[in-house]
Amino acid sequence: MNAPVKLYVKNIVEDLYNSTIGIETDVRRIVVNLILILDMPDVSLILKSVDMSQGEGIFFLHNYKQFIVRAQLGVDRKNWTMVIYDFKNNIDNVLDAYNDLTKHEWEKMTKDDFMKQFLEIEKRYNQIEFAELTLEDLQE
């Protein structure tokens, strides 16, 4: 059996929404995660998209393995954030998060996409080869 894929995070929160949530703000570690999550060995396309965003940066949601990944990539390459949610395939956990997102005034489209990402994971959950969150340092 292969070792699980590791996604790098600075903090792991275990008690929010009865889920596991990883948070990363280091650009180098986010880039390493994006290479895995987007299956894109060359991140130049991502960087180009950020550069072409007319000063806004980019925001996206994506599902990877058992996780919903939320990334916000600022043009200055300093203000990057990645939040990785593992809701343990529990719709109640996702609904708690969804309700919280509503309090934080997320756009309806974003909230709907968040739920869509979970439903995609739910469909294939039993076939997923799980990844893990790690606080480890990057290997040089």
Query: For residue range 76-101, what is the model confidence (pLDDT) as tens digits?
Result: 877 899 999 999 999 999 999 988 88
Query: Is the residue at 3 inside a domain?
Result: no
pLDDT for the residue numbered 64: 97
Three-class secondary structure of residue 137 per DSSP? coil
Query: Is the residue at 139 inside a domain?
Result: no
**DSSP bridge partners of 72:** 59, 81
Query: Is the residue at 78 inside a domain?
Result: yes
Cα separations (Å) of 111 from 9, 98, 101, 106? 23, 7, 7, 6
3-state helix, strand, coil in the chain (%, to 5): 35, 25, 40
Strands lying side by side in the sheet with 80-86: 11-13, 20-24, 80-86, 67-73, 58-64
* Residue-range definition of the domain harbouring residue 104: 8-134
Answer whether 3's CB lies under 8 Å from 29's CB.
no
Q: Which residues of the chain are modeled with pLDDT < 50?
A: none
| pTM score | 0.92
Query: Is the residue at 112 inside a domain?
Result: yes
Query: Is the residue at 61 inside a domain?
Result: yes
**Count of the separate structural domains present in the chain:** 1
